[in-house]
Structures are given as structure tokens and as C-alpha cells.
Amino acid sequence: MFLARVVGNVVSTRKTEKLTGVKLLVVEPVDFANQQPDGKPLVAIDAVGAGEGEVVLVVQGSSARLTETTKDAPVDATIMGIVDYVEFQGRRTFRK
């Protein structure tokens, strides 16, 4: 699981039936200390109603297929939480 910021969205009108009606978002991993970019952006399924600019929790691999939205779907990354705040090394580094 990692922290990321939603930086965009992907629209795909033709896709596998298991992904019909699913929102695809572009997320960019961020570090815990100051939420600055910390990796390459990737596409993730939105299972919680996240929006652009929000800091989110993302899971990858087999865990990405364990939400109601993604069960048995061909996904490798899922947004499974919207972050309210982050405390890191004894101080709050992010607040929504």
C-alpha cells in the first residue's frame, strides 16, 4: 500500500466487461514527509469516489482485486482509501 495524489483521469469507452462503469484515475505516488512526487504515475481503479488533487491510499497486485468494485476484474492498482491526514515521525505532515 502506498500514498498517491490523484493527478488525472482516463476515459476508455471500449474495455473488458468487468471494467464497465468503473472510474479510472491517474495517481502519482508521493512521499510521507511532504507529499511530493515519489515515483511514476500509474492508472488505478477508483473504489471509493476519489477526485483530482486528493491524497489516496493505493494497493497493487492481488490486493487490488479484493474490493467490491474490483472483485474478479483484471486490475493491478486500486484506490481503496481517501486520506484525511498523515502523521509521520511524530508530526502531522498532511491534513485534508
Average pLDDT, stretch 15-28? 94
Provide the 3-class DSSP secondary structure of residue 62: helix
Residue 25's pLDDT is 98
Amino acid at 55: V
Average pLDDT, stretch 8-18? 94
Average pLDDT for the chain: 95
**Boundaries of every domain in the chain:** 2-11+21-95
pLDDT tens string 38-60: 999 999 999 999 999 999 999 99
pTM of the model: 0.93
The yes or no reply on domain 2-11+21-95 and CATH 2.40.50.220 is: yes
